[in-house]
Amino acid sequence: MLLMEQKILAEGKVLPGNILKVGSFLNQSIDTGFLREIGKEIAGLYDGCGVTKILTIEASGIAIAVAAGMELGVNVVFAKKHKSSNVDGQIYSSVVHSYSYNTDYHIVVSQDYLRPEDHVLLVDDFLANGKALEGLMDLVSQAGAHLVGVATAIEKGFQGGGDGLRARGVRVESLAIIESMGDGTITFRRQ
């Protein structure tokens, strides 16, 4: 998605530690016109693939998931993050390691909202090492649902998570894939 690459180049900030800050349009501050375009792009990629539900993780995945869900005409479910596994009710849960914070956290979704008959598209804002998506895939598997694929706004290709999932046969679509970044330059993978 050329528009995503242009937006990253215009407004993204590369910080030490391979951090790309896109808070001005994608996290914390959300450009709703641009978000609508993201939703249409994701919907176009997965149009006709039988998606019945979108699954994401709170908080920064919600906006993109909602935009895609509106365009695909399907509902969105977001997994909640918890520090402990001590959550009441009938739930699916998985453990995700965060490299950013060097800690584990639990992601949790009610069994009411993820069903065996669901064909699930995973949506998130960033794809780096892919640990969060692997956690979501675990929830889909626990529910006995069908995984259609993954859609992310920005993939850090150099961290390998996306290609690891592709090597396992998972369809992964990222609107922009960053091959390398640093010293104020960002290089995208040609798709």
Q: Quick one: 57 or 175, whose CB is closer to a second copy?
A: 57
Instruction: Give contact residues for a second copy (rule: CB under 8 A).
Output: 23-24, 28-33, 35-36, 58-59, 62-63, 66-67, 69-70, 73-78, 80, 109-110, 112-113
Cβ proximity to a second copy, 49 vs 59, nearer residue: 59
Burial of 110 (0-12, 13-18, 19+ CB in 10 A): middle
Tokens of 187: 């290089």
**Residues counted in the chain:** 191
Q: Which is nearer to a second copy, 107 or 165 (CB)?
A: 107
For the CB of residue 190, give the shortest distance to a second copy in the complex, in Å.
Answer: 30
In the complex, the smallest distance separating the C-beta of residue 142 from a second copy, rounded to whole angstroms, is: 16
Looking at beta carbons only, is 36 or 166 nearer to a second copy?
36
Q: Which residue has the tokens 């999932």?
A: 165
Task: Pick between residue 109 and residue 165 the one whose CB is nearest to a second copy.
Answer: 109
With H, G, I as helix, E, B as strand and everything else as coil, classify residue 109. strand
CB-CB neighbours of 60 under 10 Å: 18
CA distance 33 to 41: 13
- CA distance readout (Å), 72 to 45, 49, 69, 95, 114: 10, 10, 5, 29, 18
Minimum CB separation of residue 166 from a second copy in Å reads 28
Shortest approach of a second copy to residue 113 CB, angstroms?
4
Q: State the nearest-atom distance from the C-beta of 164 to a second copy, in Å.
A: 27
